[in-house]
Structure 1
């Protein structure tokens, strides 16, 4: 059995959301897209379901937060390099997103946050392969830098 991941976001403007995520380089699956929701394809197993607030409300009895003012979740997506992180964030900013804080550079990991036009928080990160293999502290020790952030 393969595992698929569906991350659900709310939007106030479905067409704007589709355009934003397409600008990041993702595609929209038309078979699972209608006036209520859009299926954003990140990979063969990972999807964002961007849903109107009204439609999203049909799946829960809980209060739906306003992602412009409250954090419900942060989705972190790895990239192949620091340059790839910068490139995808630049595309997101050009497409109407915002960067809520400066880039974070921890030596072993480089991360930038991007909010979509509805305030949903995405983090794009690159982690040095040796840090993934050995752990951040061992990698930083080898680099002679300790495990402190240089943000």
Structure 2
């Protein structure tokens, strides 16, 4: 049984990534962070490991795509309200991240999508209560 989830991403600048993720509301687990990478705490069991090129490639043993031109993954976070989705996107824009696509609302969910400073794609959404 999986007890924790660690998602791993490459960054060009660990310091800028630290600023970006803390600005949009996440904390950093310093126990697993140093100048080569940071451990972004998503929740009690999910973490985003953001590493510089050398550290990341030590795990992958391969080249990585340019995230602005290619998509390797979309990381999605469920939030507890439509307002929380909008608030997070406001923080992303203030931290120099970019929104892509348009806010979308349908019968069961509301979502918006953004890119971090390295072009990695994220989606934040709110599931509407069932009638």
**TM-score of the pair, normalised by structure 2:** 0.95
Return the offset for 1:41.
0.6
Matches within 5 A, 1:8-27: 8-27=8-27
Query: Where does the alignment leave 5 or more consecutive residues of structure 2 unmatched?
Result: none
Query: What are the Cα deviations for residues 49-85 of structure 1, in whole angstroms up to 9, with x where unaligned?
Result: 0011221000013321111111000011001111000
CA distance in 2, matches of 1:5, 1:34: 20
Greater gyration radius: 1
Q: Pick the structure with more strand per residue.
A: 2
Return the offset for 1:105.
1.2
Matches within 5 A, 1:22-61: 22-61=22-61
Equivalent residue for 2:110?
110
Query: Where does the alignment leave 5 or more consecutive residues of structure 1 unmatched?
Result: 131-138, 140-151
Return the offset for 1:87.
0.2
Alignment size in residue pairs: 131
Matches within 5 A, 1:1-151: 3-130=3-130
RMSD over equivalenced CA pairs, Å: 1.3
**TM-score of the pair, normalised by structure 1:** 0.83
Q: Which runs of 4+ in 1 moved over 6 A?
A: none
Q: Pick the structure with more helix per residue.
A: 1
CA distance in 2, matches of 1:128, 1:101: 20
Return the offset for 1:101.
1.1
